[in-house]
Amino acid sequence: MSYLTKFLSSSLLLSLLFISTKAANFEIRNNCPYTVWAAASPGGGRRLDRGQTWNLNVPAGTAMARIWGRTNCNFDGSGQGRCQTGDCTGGLVCRGWGVPPNTLAEYALNQFGNLDFYDISLVDGFNIPIEFSPTSGGGSGKCQALLCTADINGQCPNQLRAPGGCNNPCTVFKTNEYCCTNGQGSCGPTTFSRFFKDRCPTSYSYPQDDPSSTFTCPGGTNYRVVFCPRGSPHFPLEMVGEKSVE
């Protein structure tokens, strides 16, 4: 083996080792007074009773990823069933994205400049208050804790109300005004998007709400997603009494 080949092989190995250290850990915690069936794409799903956590390791370079919570679920012994909000293909272990309304923690790891891009999105509506925050590598500037803890379900406009949550107007009306389907610059803030933005200023309120809603951390940062973080509104008691068979 030539010196150059050895050098390139060693460099490649070191690069792979370096990249592998950049895999991110996501600590997903349920602080709600009711069970949440956490879901992740990629990652699957898991039942989380109050105070329980799920640690998810995500490979470097993962993009178009999301974490969300499902409520009022019923699953049988084989893990098949349905959820009132956030349901994904009728299974405990998700193999796709959830059905709105669901509050989303979205991310893409080790992208341009080896930065992680992350956000809280209400583009699919809202069902559970959420925190999405770095636990290493940041804490200030564009690498900071994000919160959406307003009582959006309780204050939801009548046109957007849904069982267990609050729909985004795109889900309800399916027009470019709310969905931005005609491309960049074809839509802007609306009365409905301002309802979400006023209550969760750092969250996506419509698809092109990028400037105030996208955040970055150095690649290799670890994160925490909390359902019902401290300061979240109280929920009706009927949500506490959910039942599930697993």
Per-residue confidence (pLDDT) for residue 211, from 0 to 100: 85
3-state secondary structure the chain: CCHHHHHHHHHHHHHHHHHHCCCEEEEEEECCCCCEEEEEECCEEEEECCCCEEEEEECCCCCCEEEEEEEEEEECCCCEEEEEECCCCCECCCCCCCCCCCCEEEEECCCHHHEEEEEEECCCCECCCEEEEECCCCCECCECCEEECCCHHHHCCHHHEECCEECCHHHHHCCHHHHCCCCCCCCCCCHHHHHHHHHCCCCECCCCCCCCCCEEEECCCCEEEEECCCCCCCCCHHHCCCCCCC
Name the pLDDT band for 85 (thresholds 50, 70, 90).
very high
- What does pLDDT average to over the chain? 87
What are the tens digits of pLDDT across the range 104-125?
999 999 999 999 999 999 999 9
List pLDDT tens digits, range 193-238: 999 999 999 999 999 998 889 999 999 999 999 999 987 765 543 4
- What average pLDDT does this structure show over 88-97? 88
Query: 16 pLDDT exceeds 60?
Result: no
Flag whether pLDDT at 242 surpasses 70.
no
pTM of the model: 0.85
57-71 tens-digit pLDDT:
999 999 999 999 999
Confidence tier at 142 by pLDDT (50, 70, 90): confident
